[in-house]
Structure 1
Amino acid sequence: MANDASALTGANLYNDPYPVYARLRSEAPVALFEGTNEYFVTRYDDCRTVGATDRVFGPSGAADRPEARVMGMPNVLTMSGEEHACLREGIDLNLTQERVRSYVERLTLPVVQRFLDEIKPKGEANLTTELFEPISVRCIGDVIGLTETSNDNLVEWFHAMALGLQNVSNDQTVWDRLDVALADIDDQLGALYEAALSKPNSTLMSHVMHGGMPEGQVRSLKEISPTMRVIILGGLQEPGHAAANACAGLLSNPEQAKVMAEDPSAHALRAFDEGLRWVAPIGVTPRVALEDFEIAGTTIPAGSSVAIVMGSANRDEARFENPDRFDMFRKKKQHVSFGFRPHFCSGHFLSRAMGEIALQEAFRQLPNLRLDPEQEIKAKGWRFRGVNVLPAKWDA
């Protein structure tokens, strides 16, 4: 590929992966990306095939993958079979649709109100860093059990981890920042572990320790630490970035923003879901090929790392009309932002319910919410992608 914005390079992916993905879907729908030494699968139907073909594409537990360096192995994403099902029992206990409905307003509304009250009088803010991210990290931090950990501390964790996963150029300063964050995470999880060891509680940490285990048995801290890191990375940032992405889509489309503002409760969930499709917060899920497999005219050799590129599948022209456009009224079709079973995202009910509340209250309480014409929206990342600068104004 020529050296332009649509060439398959780490820098192009980080800055804006969508021109790269569009070109790959057209010219090389299954392509080896040398930056991470994995095959990118970029078309919607091919992503579904790989995601559904468990006997060939198992979870990737390769020690040379960035996930191993950042999260540690084995974790919930690298497990399969009985071991995976048993661990998921603990994780999923409090995240079913019914359970989420019973507590989500109590968890989310006070936090949303707190951050809205802080920004309301100012009449302008970066809604990502001053509203949606803080809501997400505070709520999910509290669910995990990190009630005493500051928002700034939690935000630093997921930024350091996300940068580590995308460190294609092997930048040592990125690894150093990651190591500081991981040491802090280990310290704080250790304290939570000790607290829940003698007396199980309602935190996600406690559920992961005890859930699915025989009576009187508990998983060791070493055993669950990699999975807790997965939960911290995905959980802290995904709901916030999904809400920010949806809000950016709405505000970039004033007609839809107006409809949203007129009746936020009627449209918030639909807008949030379209935001998930438009910019998948978690853009890639890894697999490993257990045998040779031919797909889209390319043979993926046994043992190869494979990336199901959800961020590309969600913008496949063959699946979605005008896929690069945010449109909350588009005909509802399933996207793949929450991954594939058996590793479908545990937190999808909670993420959607939190995102709905956050978007609803922002449009309800910030009159004439609009983009700041003097500044530009900025987004970054490809394994994890989000609108990190969302400059907005409202009538204070």
Structure 2
Amino acid sequence: MPEYDPHAITVEQAQAIIGLCIQPLHFTEQLPLRQALGRVLAEDIISTMNVPAHDNSAMDGFAFRGADLPAGQDRQLRIVGTALAGRAYQGQINQGECIRITTGAVMPVDCDTVVPQELITASSDSHVTIPGGKLRAGDNRRLKGEDLVMGKTVISKGRILKPADLGLLASLAIAEVAVQRRLRVAFFSTGDELRSLGEALDEGCVYDSNRYTLFGMLTRLGCEVIDMGVVKDNPDALEAGLRQACESADAIITSGGVSAGAADYTREVMAKLGQVAFWSVAMRPGRPLAFGQIASNGKSAYLFGLPGNPVAVMVSFYFFARQALYRLMGADVPALPLIPIAAAETIRKRPGRTEFQRGILASTENGELRVSVTGSQGSGILRSMSEANCMIVLQHDQTTVLPGEKVHVLLFDGLL
């Protein structure tokens, strides 16, 4: 890549490098339809039938020939039978005749139009009057294959199956589907100062919050999570932890230990076990961010070394790991869109780095959308992520934004 410097690359360069390195895994399993919700489809679904299988009525009313539509005046038709959903009318329908029909009932071959019950101006057991000028030939008829056409791709592989997809598959009598197996992701925190919940909090120590946010984000992503706890700031302990994670997972996420401090060993151990593509990104928060691939005992795994500060962990995951893990699991998920929104206040920014500020998107009294920051943007203020409903993305060369000027906003997609 032009001007590539692993010591400090731009956000766009880092995302491009990850995209070039990550290749989808191909491990599939067959699942019953009800167990496939949220899983990544491994094969294209081809329709084996037309849905609907026949032309049918979209309304409760009366089916008749479109040629019998009155030009401008009402017209009386003779009722010769009834068609119900699941019970087709078998007779012939001649000019000036019609049948009662319910929603979903098969349309007789002689009919192409349905007048809804509520438009009828007069009716009896034997005759019905349809209004003039209210209908066109073909109205209120669902065509054969209108929903699904036999032989056509219904759902493409790579889709994360949603409730509507399950219904669509069921309409084709598909009882089970091939899906990608769940992506296995191991994660742990590094730091002698970290304590797990339930442990005593010694002076100078803090409870480890990163593993809980990572657990939540990975779970919502649909991954099989492997929580490896806290690893001490020790190169031997870190190497052992990374080897264990590599041998049991497809990807590894660590938090902490990627800065240039005396007790930060992640980059060093990564280089010993594999390759480090980069380890610093021109962004705030989250500048110390390592990405690479390691190997142990014949197995390999991609590794994301995230910063230790809680907000930086979530920002780094959202803008780098999220899309990479989707790609790794074979999911066809587009990058989240950036939406231009006017700033409600002055937002401080200096050029030379991309900044991700926590934002609150709200409507004004006039119904216009405006975005403001949550307050102090320190990377250790976890409360700000809980309060925010979006991220304000200030581009690399952007400077301070004034009220009313547009900024790019990324809405939280149910991940945080």
TM-score range for the pair, normalised by the shorter chain length: under 0.3
- Larger strand share, 1 or 2: 2
Higher Rg: 2
TM-score where L is the length of structure 1: 0.24
Structure having greater relative contact order (Cα 8 Å, sep ≥ 6) = 1
